[in-house]
Each structure stands twice: as structure tokens, then as C-alpha cells.
Amino acid sequence: MPTDAPLESLSGRLVDIARDVLIHEGLDHLTLRHIARTAGVSHGAPLRHFRSLADLLSEVAARGFRMLSEAIEKSGAQLAPGAGPLARLREGARAYVESAVANPALFALMFRPELLDTANPSYRRHGTAAFEQVVLQVRAAQDAGWHAHRNTRVLAGAVWASLHGLATLWAQGALSGPVPQASLEDALTTLLELLLSDQPGGTR
């Protein structure tokens, strides 16, 4: 017979279980009833901690954005001392794509607002923080002369969109048909060379 875990520990456990169900069983199995049954608690227990399934999934997505931010942040530590801001932007871009491809189910959920409670504070905070990390790296590269006159946020959005597109296409296997010989490394290296060249300048 299911029993409810202590209140202080159950909410985090439900998020863990929802993430595991997403990764191992897929989005179609993400129901409050299935999550509660897997947790060994009553069917009503999740709604004591989360307003809805969308609210619970937003906490899962928030963890994904934290993971993404951490991957981008750690990428800079791999560079040699004195590496310039454009090199840091390149490593952050690489970390974004590699993290997304390594976690395709979680990555897909993070960008499905129709399944999430976009007013969830954790989701908003960590989603915003992940993008602001890209903005800061782009701004630093601009200060060093890379597309210095372009709007920073628009430029950061274009970088994000390009990386997101590659990660999504690769994770879904959509590039294997038209580009069967290419590896992820081939595709990523080519994208970074085209997107983040050392040539300064640019127009408004």
C-alpha cells in the first residue's frame, strides 16, 4: 500500500523520479499517477507539492537549465590561461551542444513551453540564467572586437538558435540522412568556424 514520504523530502524525490521516467520511459509516461506509483506514494501526494503536472515538469526542466549553465561555466576551465573571450564563447558553445546531445529527452522538455508552467519560479530563474550566460560571453567577445556594433542580445539569440538547431537535429537523427558521413564533431566544428570566426566587425 503506498505511503506518503516526509514532506521535506518528497518534493525533490518526485522531481528525481519524473526526470528518470522522462529519460528511461519517455514523455508519454509522464503522468502524476505513474510518477506517484513509481515513488510508492498515494496518487494525490504530488499535488501537495506541485500545482499540476506542468508545475512538476517545470522543476525537471529547471534542473536541465542548471545542468546546461554548469556545463557552459565549466567549459572555460579547460582553456589555457590567457585565452581570449572568443575562445571562451567557442568552448561554451561546444559545451551547450554536447550537453544537449547527451541528454536529448531532458533537452527536448526544456523547450516545450506547452507542457510546462512557464510561471514556475525555478524554471524562469534558471532558464533566464542560462541565456544570460550566453549574453555575457557574447558581450565579452564583442568588447574584444567580434561584431562589436551588433545588438548584443540579438547576437546572443542568433548564437543560441544556431547551437540549438544543430543539437536538436543531431539528437533526433535528422542529419544522418542528408549528411551520412558527418560526425557530431564534424558538424560542430564546421558550425563554430562559420559562426564564431575571428574576423571582427559587423554592422548594426
Q: Report whether 26 contacts 43 (CB < 8 A).
A: no
Distance of CA 76 to the CA centre of its chain: 17
pLDDT digits (tens, 9 = 90+) for 150-192: 999 999 999 999 999 999 999 988 988 888 888 999 999 999 9
Give ∠ CA 102-39-42 in degrees, rounded to 5: 145
* Cell matching residue 119: 510561471
In residues, how long is the chain? 204
Residue 8, exposed/middle/buried by CB under 10 A (0-12, 13-18, 19+)?
exposed
Domains, the chain, ordered by start: 1-50 (1.10.10.60), 53-195 (1.10.357.10)
- Min mean pLDDT across 39-48, 57-66, 107-116 is at 39-48
Side chain identity at 173, as an amino acid letter?
G
Burial 123-146 (b: 16+ CB within 10 A, else e): beebbeebbebbbbbbeebbeeeb
Give ∠ CA 70-119-112 in degrees, rounded to 5: 65
User: Residue 73 above 50 pLDDT?
Assistant: yes
User: Residue 59 above 90 pLDDT?
Assistant: yes
Could you give the CA distance from residue 183 to residue 75 in angstroms, rounded to a whole number?
21
Q: What is the model's pLDDT at position 199?
A: 56
Q: What is the model's pLDDT at position 180?
A: 83
Q: What is the model's pLDDT at position 125?
A: 97
Q: What is the model's pLDDT at position 5?
A: 43
pLDDT digits (tens, 9 = 90+) for 102-123: 999 999 999 999 999 999 999 9
